[in-house]
Amino acid sequence: MVVSAESETATKPHVAVVASPGMGHIVPLFELAKRLVTHHGLRVSFLNITTEASTAQTQLLHSPDLPSGLDVVDLPPVDLSTIVSEDALVLTRLCINVDESFRCLKSVLLKLGKPNAVVIDLFCTQALEVCEELSIPLYSFCTTSSAFLAFSLYLPTMDREIEGEYVDLPEAVQLPGCSRVRIEDLLDQVRDRKNDDYKWFLYHVSRLPKAAGILINTWEDLEPVALRAIRENPTYQEIPIPQIYPVGPLIKDTEPLTASVVDCLAWLDKQPTDSVIFIALGSGGTLSTQQLTEFAWGLERSRQRFLWVVRLPSDIACDSASFFGAGYEANGWKEYLPEGFLERTKEVGLVVSSWAPQVAVLSHPSTGAFVSHCGWNSSLESIMCGVPMIGWPLYSEQRMNATMLMEDVGVLTKPVVEPGQETIGRLEIERLMRTAIEGEKGKASRRKAKELKESARKALSTGGTSYESLSCLTKQWEAY
């Protein structure tokens, strides 16, 4: 009997995947969706929240090169103008967006034929009730580290047992079986328990145990201590935690080929191996005008080769000022650099506006270090390319990531910040840049990063820990 391609596709397990807004959430979930299709033979419908979608999000999800079996389903846009105030914090705005966009979720899932499973990210737990009503297993995907997941799972206990603000605690937060979280590293959303961001964050993490399982964008060798704690520590066992599945590192594998991409790579081709410092602080972060100036002076004084992605500075009190506007900006950034900077550094540096092909740059042999905001996607990309980092965390959980990558993993160095100072001065920046390329600490971090690059490759390969973890899960979905 001849089986048509259409009927064969229809018999494959079908999974719906949905991410909350923001490229830091969308990229890893979209990579998961592609991997489920290309490596595990599933059909996947990726549900796209179109309200306040950035240019970068739209271009990524509507690329003409999607694999067969992956469909992007646009959720209808919603009007937030009368619901969300102009001064709403990032997470609050994001969660209300998801709330309103999910009003159609039940009808969308029914129209898709009730998928075998639904995978959400941390800020989409509003889907729980819909999936329970339709008897569809729901899984949460942790787009950041298992250390962050351990903190998130423990937060409801902290909320019950600790009075006052966490930032006023006399010492670091001791997570059961894990490293401590320094008070100064606490993520923004838990630094003020009275605001709406904290309430939303607590709401979502409190619902994590209701998921059928939790996928994590990490792998066994990168975070063995935190993974073991979540699986075995009595505190987490009592919550209780559903089964966890380390399936990473899942990073963006393709980028648009533009004239600027070609120019970046052509410039890198002319530089010595491991000599270039790549500076890119993510799609959602900005520096103040003063910090941008100090960074430029420190970079120039260091005399190191560099490729710097410059975004327009912002002096509002929010390091995530461009979170919802991530995409491509107009020119205008040059006026914020010190006079003559571009001319004086033209022999050793390349400055580009707003965006560069990050994975392509990181994987280039000339790239020797990465100044990163320590978002988890960028951190994984750097490790996957064997490039050590200089941590420049801006918002959310990035300070936690930076400390963990420095103290527990050994692939990152951080600037020394003077007490009471918000701006990191040019002399410290100069020291960091020199150390990253010429110093022994920089060389040790580079060796460690290259070791982890090989470890990550093995984890994702057939028979590797992450491959088998995801394979185990897809076999369960086939049985539903």
Instruction: Examine residue 339 and state whether it is found in any structural domain, yes or no.
Output: yes
pLDDT in tens, 205-235: 999 999 999 999 999 999 999 999 999 999 9
Q: Residue 343: is its pLDDT beyond 70?
A: yes
| Better-predicted residue by pLDDT, 91 or 317 | 91
pLDDT in tens, 110-163: 999 999 999 999 999 999 999 999 999 999 999 999 999 999 999 999 999 999
How far apart, in whole angstroms, are the C-alpha atoms of residue 139 and residue 211?
5
Whether 243 and 270 map to the same domain: the answer is: no
CB of 452 closer than 8 Å to CB of 222: yes
Whether 229 and 281 map to the same domain: the answer is: no
Instruction: Examine residue 439 and state whether it is found in any structural domain, yes or no.
Output: yes
Whether 364 and 307 map to the same domain: the answer is: yes
Instruction: Examine residue 254 and state whether it is found in any structural domain, yes or no.
Output: no
Whether 234 and 272 map to the same domain: the answer is: no
Contact residues for 421 (Cβ-Cβ < 8 A; gap 6+): none
Q: Which of 185-199, 331-345, 386-400 has the lowest mean pLDDT?
A: 331-345
The pLDDT assigned to 345 comes to: 97
Instruction: Examine residue 133 and state whether it is found in any structural domain, yes or no.
Output: yes
Whether 66 and 187 map to the same domain: the answer is: yes
How far apart, in whole angstroms, are the C-alpha atoms of residue 74 and residue 62?
10
pLDDT in tens, 268-321: 999 999 999 999 998 766 899 999 999 999 999 999 999 999 988 988 655 444
The pLDDT assigned to 253 comes to: 78
Instruction: Examine residue 253 and state whether it is found in any structural domain, yes or no.
Output: no
pLDDT in tens, 161-193: 999 999 999 999 999 999 899 999 999 999 999
**Burial status of residue 207 (CB atoms within 10 A of its CB: 0-12, 13-18, 19 or more):** middle
Q: pTM value?
A: 0.93
Whether 241 and 385 map to the same domain: the answer is: no
Instruction: Examine residue 282 and state whether it is found in any structural domain, yes or no.
Output: yes
Give the percent of the chain with pLDDT over 70: 94
- Please report, in angstroms and rounded to a whole number, the separation of the first and last CA atoms in the chain: 26
Contact residues for 183 (Cβ-Cβ < 8 A; gap 6+): 166, 167, 169, 171, 172, 173
Q: Which residues are tagged catalytic? A: 25, 121
Whether 221 and 309 map to the same domain: the answer is: no
Q: Residue 327: is its pLDDT beyond 80?
A: no
Given strand 305-310, what is the order of strands in its sheet?
349-353, 305-310, 276-280, 367-372, 389-391, 412-413
Whether 295 and 436 map to the same domain: the answer is: yes
Domain count for the chain, please give it.
2
Hey, how many other C-beta atoms are within 10 angstroms of the C-beta on 375? 27
Whether 82 and 127 map to the same domain: the answer is: yes
Instruction: Examine residue 400 and state whether it is found in any structural domain, yes or no.
Output: yes
Whether 203 and 279 map to the same domain: the answer is: no
CATH code at 179?
Answer: 3.40.50.2000
Whether 87 and 162 map to the same domain: the answer is: yes
Range of the domain at 411: 259-457
Hey, how many other C-beta atoms are within 10 angstroms of the C-beta on 163? 6
Instruction: Examine residue 92 and state whether it is found in any structural domain, yes or no.
Output: yes
Give the percent of the chain with pLDDT over 90: 83
How far apart, in whole angstroms, are the C-alpha atoms of residue 249 and residue 227?
15
Whether 308 and 368 map to the same domain: the answer is: yes
